[in-house]
Amino acid sequence: MASAVGMIEVYGLVAAFVAGDAGCKAANVTLEAFDKNKPANADSLPVPLIVMVKFRGSIEDVKAAVEAAEVAANKVSGVIAKHVIASPESGAEKMLKLNGLDKN
């Protein structure tokens, strides 16, 4: 069985690092590679880069990590969205491995 995944999108890399740190300190989770998105309306956003932080672990730990990450990121620049998937399907697992930080 796949481990749960928690995702939280935040404004900017600083908030992503703060959120990742808080989530890892709050629960027994692992942090996966960040993902980035620069939307078309980037100039109208508080920070022109959206970063997704992904946590893996048990459903209880992932929920705790996402909640801690949300509190921490809101102190920096804000949260856009968050979601927890208890048991991702194989197709979703493939998509979760994608990230845009290693691409130009």
Query: What pLDDT was estimated at residue 44?
Result: 80
Tell me the whole-structure pTM to 2 decimals: 0.85
Give residue 78's pLDDT: 92
* Tokens, residue 14: 């600083």
CATH topology of domain 4-96: Alpha-Beta Plaits (3.30.70)
Q: What does the pLDDT read at residue 101?
A: 61
Please report the pLDDT score of residue 2 as a whole number.
64
**Of 51 and 92, more confident:** 51
Residue 36 to residue 100: CA distance in whole angstroms: 5
Q: Classify strands 4-11 and 79-85 as parallel, antiparallel or unpaired.
A: antiparallel
Q: Give dist(CA 69, CA 73) in Å, integer.
A: 6
Q: Are 52 and 37 in contact (CB under 8 A)?
A: yes
CA dist., res. 27 & res. 68, Å (int):
9
pLDDT above 80 (res 39): no
Per-residue pLDDT for 100 more than 70? no
61-85 mean pLDDT: 96
